[in-house]
Chain A
Amino acid sequence: MTDLLDVHNLTVRFGVRRKGGMFARQTYLTAVDDISFTVRKGETLAIVGESGSGKTTAALAIARLVSGVTSGKVELEGRDILPLDRDDLKDMRQKVQVIFQDPYSSLNPRKRAEDIVREPLDSLTDKSDPEKREIVDQLFKAVGLRPEQKRLFPHQFSGGQRQRIGIARALSTQPEVIICDEPVSALDVAVQAQILNLLRRLQAEYGLTYLFISHDLGVVQHMCDSVAVMYMGKIVEHADRMSLFNKPLHPYTEALLSAVPSVDPRLRENARRILIPGDPPDPLNLPKGCRFASRCPVAAPECRESAPSLDAVTPSHRVACHLVEGETSPLATLSAS
Chain B
Amino acid sequence: MAPLLKVENLRIELATRAGVAPVIDNLNLELAHGESISFVGESGCGKSMTALAIMGLLPEGIGRVASGSIQFDGEELTTASPRRLRQIRGNEISMIFQEPMTSLNPVYTVGEQIAEVLRAHQGLGQKAAWAQAIELLDAVQIPNPKSRVEAYPFQMSGGQRQRVMIAIALACTPKILIADEPTTALDVTVQAQIFDLLRDLRAQTGTSIIMITHDMGAVAEMSERMIVMYAGRKAEEGPVDQVITHARHPYTSGLISCVPHIMANLTEERHDLTEVPGIVPGLSEFGQDLCLFAPRCPRASDKCLSARPPDVPFGSARSSACWHAEDL
Contact = CB atoms under 8 A, between A and B. Distances in A.
Nearest to B215: A261
B217 A279 contact: no
Given A50-B187, A262-B220, A268-B220, A190 B275 contact: yes
Contacts of B157: 279
Contact of B193 (A223, A264, A275): A275
Given A188-B42, A190-B255, A218-B261, A265 B279 contact: no
Nearest to B277: A194
A259 B244 contact: no
A192 B192 contact: no
Interface of B: 42-43, 143, 157-160, 187-193, 195-196, 214-221, 241, 244-245, 254-256, 258-266, 268, 270, 272-277, 279-280
Interface of A: 50-51, 158, 160, 188-194, 196-197, 200, 215, 217-219, 221-223, 241-242, 245-246, 255-265, 267-268, 270, 273, 275-279
Given A221-B260, A261-B215, A262-B261, A196 B188 contact: no
Nearest to B279: A158
B189 A268 contact: no
A192 B259 contact: yes
Contact of A263 (B254, B256, B274): B256
A40 B218 CA distance: 35
Contacts of B259: 189, 192-193, 218
B194 to A, nearest CB: 11
A191 B259 CA distance: 10
Given A222-B260, A222-B273, A259-B189, A189 B265 contact: no
Given A194-B275, A265-B241, A188 B43 contact: yes
Nearest to B218: A261
Instruction: Determine the main DSSP class of A at the interface with B.
Output: helix
Contact of B188 (A160, A194, A260): A260
Nearest to A273: B192
Given A190-B258, A277-B193, A278-B143, A259 B263 contact: no
Nearest to B282: A158
A242 B266 contact: yes
Contact of B261 (A197, A264, A273): A264
A255 B191 CA distance: 12
A219 B259 CA distance: 8
Given A218-B260, A218-B261, A257-B262, A190 B187 contact: no
A196 B220 CA distance: 24
5 contacts: A193-B258, A200-B272, A221-B263, A256-B189, A278-B143
A222 B268 CA distance: 10
Contacts of A255: 189
Nearest to A185: B184
A193 B279 contact: no
B276 A193 contact: yes
Given A190-B258, A263-B244, A278-B143, A50 B189 contact: yes
Nearest to B245: A265
A188 B214 contact: yes
A221 B259 CA distance: 11
Contacts of B274: 193
A215 B187 contact: yes
A276 B190 CA distance: 8
A147 to B, nearest CB: 19
A245 B266 CA distance: 7
A259 B263 CA distance: 13
Contacts of B261: 218, 262-264
A22 B261 CA distance: 52
A106 B42 CA distance: 22
Contacts of B279: 158, 160, 188, 190-191
